[in-house]
Amino acid sequence: MRNNTQNGRIAYIQSSWHSALLAHSRLAFYDRMAHHGWALNRIDTYDVPGAFEIPLMARRAALSGRYDAIVGAALVVNGGIYRHEFVAQAVVDGLMRVQLETNIPVFSMSLTPHHFHSHADHEKFFSDHLKHKGEEVADACEGMLNALNRFELDLPPNDAGQDAPGHR
């Protein structure tokens, strides 16, 4: 079985908008992946101008054959000019399409809050929330890579229907 923590690579693609807040999710992702046994030099980080550009970079990363998993991170907020939900939906749809077309798992850490203002209370709330989301996407990434490894080996799950945490 392939040991992803030793040989695998992950592309982490982040929007440049709200980068100070997104840094909380990225650092939490790194910490959690290290907890799962990944060396940080196995995770490549790419900054793109905005959320809309993430699917193209994800597709390039997937087609390169270099990555076992890809994460897209963005905070898409209502700027009052356009419906931000459409941007967020386009990003998620694009990431799903990349995943299905390339057979490389792609994870969205693209958040679209109903209300966001650059005030201290919102900054604090979203920095904490994004940290939690970074941990969640790391767990999902690790879990899916493990599931794909099990599938490749055609190993049945244990009696409970799930393997123990950390089982490879």
CATH number at residue 10: 3.40.50.960
Task: Pull the structure tokens for residue 98.
Answer: 């990349």
Residue 64, domain member (yes or no): yes
Residue 16, domain member (yes or no): yes
At residue 142, the pLDDT reads 95
Residue 65, domain member (yes or no): yes
Question: Which of 54-58, 76-80, 91-95, 127-131 tops mean pLDDT?
Answer: 54-58
Asked if 67 and 104 count as a contact pair (C-beta separation under 8 A), the reply is yes
Residue 167, domain member (yes or no): no
At residue 77, the pLDDT reads 61
CA-based nearest residue to 45, from 57, 56, 36:
57
How far lies 67's CA from each of 28, 60, 128, 130, 164, in Å?
20, 10, 29, 24, 25
pLDDT in tens, 1-40: 344 556 789 999 998 676 777 788 889 999 999 999 999 9
How far lies 41's CA from each of 38, 46, 47, 58, 73, in Å?
8, 13, 17, 19, 19
Report, as residue numbers or ranges, the catalytic residues: 83
Tally of domains within the chain: 1
pLDDT in tens, 74-126: 876 655 555 656 666 777 888 899 999 999 999 988 765 545 556 566 666 66
Domain assignment of residue 87, given as a range: 4-153
Residue 24 or 128, more confident: 24
Residue 82, domain member (yes or no): yes
Question: What's the pTM?
Answer: 0.81
Classified as helix, coil or strand, 145 is: helix
CA distance 58 to 46: 10
